[in-house]
Structure 1
């Protein structure tokens, strides 16, 4: 099972069936907030939906194509961080994340992503990570930029959010460019 201690406040662990209620509650509590930028929120309306998502995520983990984790902050579930669409033949993956509304502004995501990038390049031996964020999602984009991801382009109308398309910023990071401060 995947577990990563980020620092004294934060750990990340593989999302498990037993986390379903906690993940659902966090999503429910932050639903309106998350809905601004994440297209999956309306498809996760019940505990049953969350359980189905975790089952699929665990199957993808077993297939070595995704790693979906829960971020724990001071022992409380704070959000999710994932490596997905891992392409072993290209040594690449995508990284995605979200935080519950009560956890923003504490550096949780920057520290968590930094640890996941370290793991991706150091342990998994990947060479490239990609990160996509809605162009107007300044908080998500600032995490990428603080970590040193380079904006490589802008994808026009790349995501459908309920009733409209949004443009997406595409960021990339290469193993040779990774220089997040190690503590």
Structure 2
């Protein structure tokens, strides 16, 4: 059994230089703006991916869900542009590697499954829910950070989008549970 060596007397731990409250707030705001740019790019990228998912889906209920989510996503982009205005920043995106990867995963499901099958629909639902969970985590974190920064106006906008993302996730679960998962399990290989 290893034992800890006794601490040497007279030595101090190196500590980070103290930052002022203003410096901390500035760093948090910079991080916040950077993350807003990230989700802005992600939402705009999603507006290009959702029509592909809509086209690939066979269930009318799933097609309708993708069409509705595309409309919501366009509103989410507009809300983020409003956030940029409130921050006196130009609306611009910063490539979101996470969303790019999630969209590529969805495209892979389309390529790897047969058209018109419930199996493809199950895969599309899984891919879409991964996107929703990423968005839920992002909007939840950003809404809280906006509150920390004293920007309740922005937090309210982000919370509205967060609620819609959660609703979409729940809808996708309901669609999967209604029949699609069962139909996929009955398909011939």
Does the pair score TM above 0.5?
A: no
Q: Which has the higher contact order (CA 8 A, sep 6+)?
A: 2
Higher strand proportion (structure 1 or 2): 1
Larger Rg belongs to: 2
Q: TM-score, with normalisation over the residues of structure 2?
A: 0.32
Higher helix proportion (structure 1 or 2): 2
Q: TM-score, with normalisation over the residues of structure 1?
A: 0.33
